[in-house]
Structure 1
Amino acid sequence: MAMTTTTTTTTTICSTISPLKSPCTSLQPPSVSSSSSSWKFGTNLLSKEAVTIAAANEAVVLARAAVKVARDAVALASLTEEVWFDGEGGRGVERDGRSDLMFRRKKRRKRRKGFGRLEVDDRKDGQCQRLVMYEPVQSEYFGWPEEAELCLRLQDQARLDAVRRRIAETQEYEPTLEQLAKALEMKKRSVNRILCNGRESLKSITCSHRKLVISIAIDYQGKGLGLQDLIQEGSIGLLRGAQRFDPKRGYKLSTYAYWWIKEAIISAISKNGRLIRLPGNTWAMGAKIAEANSVLRTALRRSPSYDEIAEVLNVHVSTVRLHFERTKSPLSLDRSLTDQGCMTLQEIIAGPDETIPEKIIEKQLMKQELEKLLQTLSKREAHILRLKFGLNGQAPQSCEEIGRLLKLSRERIRQIKVTALMKLRRIGIATNFKAYYA
C-alpha cells in the first residue's frame, strides 16, 4: 500500500509540471530492490523541481500584472485635465488623470449631495478646455400648498420692501426696523418674522426651480452673455414672477414663471449682450428677421435677399437693410490686420471729409460769405437765424426755445425767421453759394 501511494503522487506531480518541463517518463520511481538512501534522494529531487517550477509560474503572473499596471498608468497620465469647481467653497481644485471609474464615483457622490454638473467649453489660446462646474442644482419639489405658502411669504416681503423704499425716498435714509414696524402698524417681532420667512422662501423657490431656469438659459447661449449670467438673470425673473403669482388660479408656479424667466433672459441679452446697446424695438424686429431668414434659407437652400425677407415680413426693404447694418459686430480700430501686427485697421480707414485740407478751406470761405449775407439783415433777424440753424457753433434750437430765451412768443419767432429768409432769397443767396455745391 505504501508503494502504490508513492507512485500515484509522483505521477500527479509529473502531469502538473509537464507543460513546462520535459516529459516525466524518465523519472520513474525506484524499484523495490533499490536502497532506501537512493529512494530518499529521488524524492527530494522531485520536490525541489516542483517548487522551482511553481516559483517560475508565479513570477510570470507577477510580470504580467506589472505590465498591466504600467499600461494603466500611461492611460491615466494621458487623460485630459479637468477643473472641478466645488459648489460649497466656491474654489477651483485641479484634478489631473482621473479614470472613468473615479469620474463616475465623483459624479455620483456630488449628485447625492445635491450638486449638478454643468459643462462649458472655454476656448483659450486656440485650445478647448472643458470646465466642469458643480453647483447646488438639486430640485426640491414642492406640492401646490407648499408653493402657495412660499409665494405668499415672498409677496409679504415685497410689500414690506415697497414701504421701506417709500420711506427711504421721503426721509432720504434707510428706515430702522422699529420705524418700519411703526409705519406698518405692526409689532417689531412680526416684521422680523416676515423678513426671515421671505429670505427662506426666496432660497427655497430658487433652489426648487433651478433646473427649469437652467433648461431655459441653455437655449440662449452664444448671444452675448455667459451661461452663469443667463442663469442669474433667469433666477431674477423667477422671483419676479413668484411675487406676482396667484395660487388661487390653480396652476403651478413653474407654468406661470416660465414667461417671466424667458423675458428676463431676453431683456438681459438686449441690454448687456452687445458692446453698443440697441433699442428694444430693434431686438424685436431682429427676432422676426432671424426667423424669416431661417425659414427662407431652408426653403430656398441659399441665403435670402433683403427683398425676399421684406416681402415675407410685409415691411419695407430699407427696414431690413438698416437692421443688418445696425446689428453688425463692432470692430476695434487697433485690431491688427496681419499676423505680424505691423498694420492696424485705423491706418487704412479714410477719415471724414472735414479733415481734408480742401474741405476745410471751402468751409471757411462759406462761413465768410454767410456772415456777409447776415450783415444785410437786422441784428435781431441775424441772431434768430444763428440760433435756429446753429450758425454760432451751438446746437440748433426750436422756435419755442428761442422764444423763451428772447422773451417772445413762438409764433413771433417763426414770423421773424420767415421774413429774414425771404430777404436772403431776394438778395440771391443761391448765387453766392452755387460754387460750393457745384
Structure 2
Amino acid sequence: MTMTTALAPRDPWSVVPSLGNLDAYIRSVQSIPMLEAEEEQALARRLRDQQDLQAASRLVLSHLRLVVSISRQYLGYGLPQGDLIQEGNVGLMKAVKRFDPDQGVRLVSYAMHWIKAEIHEYILKNWRLVKVATTKAQRKLFFNLRSLKHQFKGEADDAHVGRAALSEADIHRVAAELDVRPEDVIEMETRMAGGDVALESPTNDDGDAPMAPMAYLADEVHEPTRVIEAARRDWLASDGITHALGTLDDRSRRIVEERWLKVNDDGSGGMTLHELAADYGVSAERIRQIEVAAMKKMRKALAEVVEA
C-alpha cells in the first residue's frame, strides 16, 4: 500500500491524532506505511521544484514513526516522551525542507541527524536549570556516556557489573572511544550520576577494616569560599527562583510553574504542552515558545543578581 491510497488527499494530517493522547498517536503513526524509493523521490522533487506543501506533508507523515523510535532512546533523561517527539518532529520537518533527492540517499538516513540534533538541543536546555554540557566534546560525552557504561559493564565480570561507578580502565576506554580526556569523563560522570563515596568501610568477620575517608577527611564546612558558594546555591534554589519568576507575566509564570516546578501528590509533574495549549486556546508550539522566552528571561534575571 502506498501513501496515495492510505491518506486522504485533501487533509493528510487528519489521520494523526493529537500528541495529547500519546498511545493513540504512536499507534496511528506506526500504521502509516513508509514510501517506496520512487515515490519518495517524486514527492521530494515536487517539494523542491514546485514548493508543493502536500508533498511535504506526505514526506513528513511517512517518517513520523522514525521520530517515535528515536525519542525512545532519550527517555532516561526524565522528560515527557510527547515533548521529545514534538521536538523530533521539528527536526524532521527541517530535514524534509532541506532534503535533496539527487544526493542518492534515502530521507530516513538524512533525517536522523536533524531529529537527534533537535532532541539533543531540547534536552540540554531543559534537563537541568544549570547546563551540564556546553562544549562539543561535553555534548558528545553527555549523550554517549550512559550507553557506553552499559556496554562496558555488560562485557565485565559479575562483580564489576554491580559497581555503580566506572572503573579506571573503563574511564580510559570511554575517553579513547569518544576522543576526550579521562578527566572529562570523570567530570561528566560526576555531574550526571553524583556518585556516592562510602565514608566508612564495611568490617569483616575479624573486625578489621581498611582506613576509610571518614578517618582523614578535613572539615571544610566553614571554609569561606564554600560558605559563600553554599549561600549562593541556597539563594538560587529558593529566593532566586522566586525573584526570577517575579519578572514574568502571569501567563508565562504559570506555564513555567506547571512545566517545571509543580509536583503532584502521586509524584507526577504538572501540565503538558498540549494541556496548557488547550487551556489557553493556542497551539502547543506557541506554549513552547512562551516557555523558552520565559526561561531565558529568568536566567537573565538570575545572572544580573549574581553578577551584581
Q: TM-score normalised to the size of structure 1?
A: 0.34
Instruction: Tell me which protein shows more strand as a share of its residues.
Output: 1
Tell me which of the two structures has the higher relative contact order, counting C-alpha pairs closer than 8 angstroms and 6 or more residues apart. Answer: 2
- Give the greater-gyration-radius structure (CA): 1
Q: TM-score normalised to the size of structure 2?
A: 0.46
